[in-house]
Amino acid sequence: MERDSQLELFRLVADRLKEAHSRVRALQVPEGVRMALSRKLLAITAAAKHDLSGAAMRLDRLMNDLDEGRFPEEPDRDGTP
């Protein structure tokens, strides 16, 4: 029974990650902002391999930020925010 719920959570996170990647690609934001969001998504994807529920929570926060229009600041040309 627990394995079934874990598998369902995995499917949910995978579907939401796919949706998040599509949303980030479609955003009309500077390339630096898009790169920062992509790095966040990659970190969440990597975390899902070790902590699926934690990754799901991080993904929820990121999706809420996207819904609210909260994006990371674009770094300066020297790489500092």
What is the predicted pLDDT for the residue at 6?
A: 83
Residue 75 has pLDDT above 70, yes or no: no
Q: Which pLDDT tens digit goes with each residue over 54-66?
A: 999 999 999 999 9
Q: What is the mean pLDDT of residues 30-50?
A: 94
Residues 6+ apart with CB under 8 A from 46: none
Residue 46 has pLDDT above 80, yes or no: yes
3-state secondary structure 46-66: HHHCCCHHHHHHHHHHHHHHH
